[in-house]
Amino acid sequence: MIGDEKFSNFSKFALLLIVLAFIVGTFVFLASEVDLLAEGEDSSQADAGEDVVLPEISPEETELESLIYERTSVRDFRDEEISKEKAARLLWSTVGITVDGISGPTRAAPSAGATDPLVVYLSVSQVEDLSSGIYRYNPEENKLTKVVSGDRSAELAQAGLGQGAIGEAPLSLIITADFARTTDRYGERGERYVKIEAGHAAQNANLVAESLGLGGVMIGAFNDQEVQQVLGDISEEPLMIIPLGEKE
């Protein structure tokens, strides 16, 4: 019968399609299992709770990453002068002037609402062509103003709970802040912003120090009032002392 023959041809065709679909489905399943379809793990398909393996990186491939990789805290320094140029570079890296922002020049470290609360002091013990003392950094004019004469590194070390690195270093950066500049705009939350900014500025100095072959350490343990006195009875609050020098 012609009808039976048509039906039988249709059945054969349908069966063939089912077999083909099964073969293709099996292949796709196996291929995905053995990563034939995806090169490596397809992290975009990760479900919550699953791990994603990151690509291996070599930090030494870029200069900045190398500096981050190489930096470690250094607490012993060679008994050697630091050049004034290196001191200038270190100061610049904290709150120095950079490219023109929307409303004027901006700074080396980001600042919440560009309120710029940080004030950086320099304690000089052995810097070429710069007499010992405490200086206040003026980034707008790229100048230092001497506020206290004479080597104050021993007193600063004393204020720093006797930490030898401060007394030994040829120079120390002291990052202080006028909190009101930021809290006037942001209220209590501004206090958090100021401390975050001090971290930005300090790490910039650390990395620039590393690039100049210098070493240093973040010092957060000190007596605030004593540090303020050593710096010339300043009103700003000290947040970080960073003694720096040539590595031993």
Ligand X SMILES: Cc1cc2nc3c(=O)[nH]c(=O)nc-3n(C[C@H](O)[C@H](O)[C@H](O)COP(=O)(O)O)c2cc1C
Q: List contacts with ligand X (CB under 6 A).
A: 72-73, 75, 163, 217-221
Cβ 175 vs Cβ 236: under 8 Å: no
Q: Among 224, 121, 119, which residue's Cα sits nearest to residue 178?
A: 119
Torsion, Cα of 151, 159, 170, 233 (10° steps): -50
Which residue, 65 or 85, has its beta carbon nearer to ligand X? 65
Minimal distance, residue 194 CB to ligand X, in Å: 14
Give the whole-angstrom CA distance, residue 181 versus residue 188: 12
Burial (Cβ within 10 Å: 0-12, 13-18, ≥19) of residue 125: buried
Which residue, 59 or 220, has its beta carbon nearer to ligand X? 220
Burial (Cβ within 10 Å: 0-12, 13-18, ≥19) of residue 195: middle
Which residue, 126 or 223, has its beta carbon nearer to ligand X? 223
Radius of gyration of the chain (CA): 31
Phi then psi for residue 71, to 5 deg, are -60, 130
Which residue, 123 or 163, has its beta carbon nearer to ligand X? 163
Cβ 241 vs Cβ 166: under 8 Å: yes
Minimal distance, residue 33 CB to ligand X, in Å: 43
Q: Which two tokens stand for residue 95?
A: 């709150």
Minimal distance, residue 117 CB to ligand X, in Å: 17
Which residue, 113 or 162, has its beta carbon nearer to ligand X? 162
Minimal distance, residue 111 CB to ligand X, in Å: 19
Minimal distance, residue 55 CB to ligand X, in Å: 24
Which residue, 126 or 203, has its beta carbon nearer to ligand X? 203
Minimal distance, residue 248 CB to ligand X, in Å: 15
DSSP at 114: G
